[in-house]
Structure 1
Amino acid sequence: MSELAGAGRHWVVGITGASGSIYGVRLAEELLDAGFTVHLVVSNAGWRVLKEELDFDASSREAMLDNRFGGRAGRLVYHPVADIGASIASGSFRAEGMIVIPCSMGTLSAIAHGSSDNLMTRAADVMLKESRPLVLVPRETPLHAIHLENMLKLSRLGVKMVPAMPAFYHRPRTLEEIVDFLVGKVLDSVGIEHRLFKRWGEET
């Protein structure tokens, strides 16, 4: 895929406090490498998990993000979760869609019930009202009935659910290959080309 394939196109990426923050980081990297502009929103709990799982320094967020994501073909725009007046909070802003990865059950519930009291849930609400792609990557186990009912409600509204469930038919040998498989499935769900894993039936 050309590095400039996504030039001039915007995707919103949300990272919540569910375990699996590496999924959101890898997705952002892949979108940036493809030339997209990535509008990143991280919940307060998401920052804590990034620190716990990936040693991200939440005390100097913008500098840390620039260090991690800078120098790629695309552009990263960071929006604090409390900035309800950010560009992505309006339907007049032309974003291609939004992916919340990983998506906590709390955020999923707020989206399902139209509770847009921060930028993460407001941006998701915008995607719903503007009929733009919205993909959620739930990361929780076990699931109880409320979780499942909320997922079903959103699925019936056209929201794509891509649970963080690994596959093994591509014979992953590293944790990175397991992460890339899920990120690749997310990109598949929104029609973005990638070479993150070997597909079933594909020659070596």
Structure 2
Amino acid sequence: MSNPERARLVVGVSGASGVAYGLRVLDACRELEVESHLIFSKAAALTLSQETRLSLADAQAKADVAYRAGDIGAAVASGSFPTLGMIVAPCSVRTMSEIATGVTASLLTRAADVTLKERRPLVLMVRETPLHLGHLRTMVRLAEMGAVIAPPLPAFYAGPASLEDMVDQSVGRALDLFGLSWRPVKRWGQDVGPIGGGGEA
């Protein structure tokens, strides 16, 4: 059940490779006591089976509330349901393209459209490379609409010792965009790098 007194974050997981990003967002929400509202696309369920040993039910159990991809009558489909915003982790090209056109065919993209119209943060962890001109133009359109394009790129300055460290750093930096500070993030000038900026220009 949803608790109106807790901050809420909508978490979309689309079918791009990198389902670990979405799973760690859910773990972070639990640690930060942020209520997570999860939408798995149909393609994401397939990716989950290919990249992890978890079932869809296992993944959904990480969230406070989980919705079916086709449940267009869900709470997160309405702007009257208050949230901090929405993150799509990972975000496929198909998903970002649907959001950019406003022709939303699933709850995931409908919730993203609602997030934009309500002027709430929409963070898209786009997972695709290389990018052709159509992808780039779609990203520009989304940025002009108010979305934040945040590809999950490794931060080598943080000295990651494992793939999990890289995932956590990307997830934590994405959560920063909602004003959520997650413990695993290593910050320049605080945890790593020069302290106080005393170097020469």
Say whether the fold is shared (TM-score over 0.5): yes
What is the CA–CA distance in structure 1 between the aligned matches of 2:160 and 2:191, rounded to whole Å?
A: 16
Letter aligned with residue 177 of structure 2: S
1:35 equivalenced with 2:33 (yes/no): yes
Once the two structures are superposed, residues 79-99 of structure 1 have per-residue CA deviations (whole angstroms, 9 ceiling, x without a partner) of 000000001001111111000
SS of equivalent to 1:13: strand
Amino acid of the structure 2 residue aligned with 1:94: P
Identical positions, percent:
44
The answer to whether the 8 Å contact 2:23/2:59 transfers is no
Partner of 2:43: 45
2:102 counterpart of 1:110: no
Structure 1 stretches lacking a partner, 5+ long: 1-5, 70-74
Superposed, 1:1-204 pairs within 5 Å as 8-58=6-56, 61=57, 65-66=60-61, 69=62, 76-203=64-191
Partners of 1:169 and 1:64 lie apart in 2 by 31
Q: For 1:126 and 1:93, how far apart are their aligned partners in 2?
A: 10
Shift of 1:197: 2.5
Deviations 1:39-78 (A, max 9, x none): 00000000000111012224xx2x6632xx2xxxxx6100
Check the 8 A contact 1:13/1:40 in 2, yes or no: yes
Q: Distance in 1 between matches of 2:60 and 2:53?
A: 12
Q: Runs in 1 of length 4+ with deviation above 3 angstroms? A: none
Structure 1: how far apart are the matches of 2:60 and 2:109? 22
Q: How far is 1:203 from its partner?
A: 4.4
Deviations 1:20-46 (A, max 9, x none): 000000011101211111000000000
When the two structures are superposed, what TM-score results if normalisation uses the length of structure 2? Answer: 0.89
Equivalent pairs counted in the alignment come to 189
The amino acid of 1:33's aligned partner reads E
- Which amino acid in 2 is paired with 1:57? S
Q: How far apart are the structure 2 equivalents of 1:118 and 1:94?
A: 20
Q: Runs of 5+ in structure 2 lacking a partner?
A: 193-201
Q: Which residue in 2 is equivalent to 1:3?
A: none
> Alignment partner of 1:12: what SS?
strand
Contact 2:152 2:171 in 1 (8 A): no
Distance of 1:185 and 1:88 partners within structure 2: 24
8 Å contact kept, 1:7–1:36: no
Q: Which amino acid aligns with 2:155?
A: A
Aligned partners of 1:135, 1:170: CA distance in 2, in Å?
22
TM-score by length of 1: 0.88
